Amino acid sequence: MKNLARLTSHRRSENALPYGRASNALPYGGASNALPYGRASNALPYGRGSEESARPDGRASNALPYGRGSEESARPDGRASNALPYGRASIWMATLVLCGAPAFAQPEPTSIAIRNAKIVTVSGATIAKGTVVMRNGLIEAVGDNVAVPADALIVEGDGLTVYPGLVDGLSTWGMGTAAAATGGGGRGGGRGAAAPAGAAATPAAPPSRGPEDRPSTTSWLKAADEIQPGDRRIELARSAGFTSAVVFPTRGIFAGQGSVINLAGEKAADMVLVPSVGQYISVSRGGGGGGGGGGAGFPGSLMGYIAYIRQIYLDVDYYKMLKAEYEKNPRGMRRPEYDRALEGVMESKRILLPANRWVEVERMLNFSAELKQPTILYGMREGFDSRSTDHLKGKNTPVLVSLRWPEAQRDRDPDDEETLRTLELRAKAASSPAALKKAGIPFALYTDGLDQARDIQRAVKKAMDSGLAREDAVRALTLSPAEIFGVADRLGSIEKGKIANLVVTRGDLFEDRTRVEMVFIDGKKHTPAPDATGGRGGAATPETPQGMRR
């Protein structure tokens, strides 16, 4: 085994553990993520170019930046480090079986070219028939007259359309079910814990007595540190055409810092594109917490939450000032007490505030101006209302629109009259994206807990039926979220040099009959399960504990 390993050592680290992970690890062809094919084992430190991890092939461990031609990361085979094996029924992978080693992963193609496909670049004009070439996990070339490299694996794109991989602008995919549940207070999902949300609530902690107790605050928490690659929703997301997501811890008032991740990876580090892109703030206890106070502690009312957030930012200013003073000359000065809540807030380059009704949009915009923080509003249920857009104009505050359109309550008392407000909301909610577009407000769409491809597609289609042009819908799930989170220089459109995240469909994206044929993440292909995009009956609910594969 070991000798064979050496033969193929240019593809693997010398200290890669053989099938060290999941016991169900099969030779290539089985569970795709069972093997560390082509990657250093997780025993390696993520040292970039650290000698410990230096591999005979000169490649650094897998903690490399997704190398833009970086020498450190350049592999003799030209592949990016964290490329996953194409575990499933992938015919052409079989052809790459190395000599004498059917037990090992097929090597990744050095380059993949999709040719003769319709290419929706988003950043530029749509190419009716063109080619996109991927190499090293990046887009090497795209155009209607692009030569296919000799070593490229060819994907025939006739009848197919290529889009940038979809980006979920606000997500908990990859955070595991515990984090996904909107339970009571408490910390973000524990690593690998399948504990029900209730257990994570704070029965032991005494109720908070004021802002000094830093209630429901875990601002230092980074989604990047909480990623669970085995989260089953990731696979579902890919079936829907998503290749990355901006994931956040979502429990608490200052829930923590979000991260842009790719929706494929053996380990978390493979998936993280940008570790910290903003602080998620909420103004409710989420789920069952009662009204204003009582047993739950401060804050219990909306004004309590707002006052707390305001106080935190005052404390941040004060803390910064004290630290600066102390830095200048500690002698004779009492040291400022370390406050990780404030540190976490300070690390956050922007904040996310909730706003569904136009009243809340107005409220949060005022608040954001007062806090002087770059802000993104999320929810935007009443985005269609002109008062929302009027307030947003000129405020330089992008918004994330939930795709979970309001629905009629089932099993309503037929004698109970619904309010005009409710009826209007249901009738118009899906037109919010179109209204925001028309008003020139930067926005992105997010799935807000919709995990099934069919539901997501339907939701986007509804927005389109309500006035959002397809190209705007596509943009709202690709380049726009990338722009909003400051990663448009590397993600969100099909341009040379950007990360090779693509979705390939048969048919126009978001149409009912369209199938997602495959997605590429970091230039590696993933194929959805056969029934994944076909309206799977009986949704697998996210509450089932995720099988942790390690």
CA pair distance 250, 180, nearest whole angstrom: 8
Q: Of 349 and 462, which has the nearer Cβ to another protein?
A: 462
User: Does 325 sit near another protein (CB under 8 A)?
Assistant: yes
**114 vs 143, 162, 343, 503, CA distance in Å?**
11, 8, 46, 11
Q: Give the amino acid at 523.
A: G
Torsion of CA 438, 439, 442, 445, to 10 degrees: -50
Site residues (CB under 8 A) for another protein, limited to 453-492: 455, 458
Q: Which of 100, 102, 159, 318 binds another protein (CB under 8 A)?
A: 318
Report the alpha-carbon distance of residue 455 to residue 443 in Å, rounded: 20
Least Å distance, CB 316 to another protein, is 11
For another protein, the closer CB: 64 or 283: 283
Task: Give the binding range for another protein (CB under 8 A) out of 63-71, 135-143, 179-187, 450-458.
Answer: 450-458
Q: Is residue 359 involved in binding another protein (CB under 8 A)?
A: yes
User: Binders of another protein among 116-175, rule CB under 8 A?
Assistant: none
Identify which range of 21-29, 406-414, 437-445, 499-507 contacts another protein by CB under 8 A.
406-414
Q: Establish if 427 lies at the interface with another protein (CB under 8 A).
A: yes
> Quick one: how far is CA 540 from the chain centroid?
20
* Token pair for 15: 């200290």
Name which of 76 and 294 has its Cβ closer to another protein.
294
d(Cα 24, Cα 516) in Å, to the nearest integer?
28
With both helix axes pointing from N to C terminus, report the angle between 358-371 and 302-328 in degrees, rounded to the nearest 10: 20
Which residue lies nearer to another protein by CB, 203 or 530?
203
Q: Choose the stretch contacting another protein; rule: CB under 8 A; options: 1-9, 94-102, 444-452, 484-492.
A: 444-452
438 binds another protein (CB under 8 A): no
Nearest of 449, 83, 404 to residue 248 by alpha carbon: 449
Q: How would you classify the pairing of strands 254-257 and 242-247?
A: unpaired
Minimum Å gap between C-beta 248 and another protein is: 19
| 407 binding another protein? (CB under 8 A) | yes
In this chain, which of 48, 349, 426, 550 binds another protein, going by CB under 8 A? 426
Contact (Cβ atoms closer than 8 angstroms) between residue 484 and residue 168: no
331 binds another protein (CB under 8 A): no
- Asked whether position 386 contacts another protein by CB under 8 A, the answer is yes
Binding-residue total with another protein (CB under 8 A): 72
And the tokens for 140? 């090497």
Q: Closest separation between CB of residue 415 and another protein, Å?
A: 6
- The yes or no reply on residue 236 touching another protein (CB under 8 A) is no
Stretch that binds another protein, among 8-16, 105-113, 184-192, 449-457 (CB under 8 A): 449-457
Site for another protein in 289-308 (CB under 8 A): 290-308
**Interacting positions 81-120 with another protein (CB under 8 A):** none
Closest CA to 428 of 468, 471, 480: 468
Q: How far is the CB of 509 from another protein (least distance, A)?
A: 19
Buried b / exposed e over 47-63, threshold 16 CB at 10 Å, is eebeeebebeeebbbbb
How far, in Å, CA of 104 to CA of 5, rounded?
9
Which residue, 70 or 301, is less far from another protein as judged by CB? 301
CB of 381 to another protein, least distance (A): 13
Identify the CA nearest to 143 among candidates 379, 530, 503, 496: 496
**For the chain, what is the largest distance between any 2 Cα atoms, rounded to a whole number of angstroms?**
78
The correct pick among 283, 316, 376, 532 for binding another protein (CB under 8 A) is 283
In the set 449, 467, 507, 545, which binds another protein (CB under 8 A)? Answer: 449
* Per CB under 8 A, 320 contacts another protein: no
Residue in 3, 128, 419, 530 binding another protein, rule: CB under 8 A: 419
User: Which among 298, 314, 317, 294 is positioned nearest to 211, based on CA atoms?
Assistant: 298
Burial of 9 (C-beta count, 10 Å sphere; 0-12/13-18/19+): middle
Shortest distance (Å) from residue 215 CB to another protein:
9
Task: Give 105 or 175: the residue with its C-beta nearer to another protein.
Answer: 175
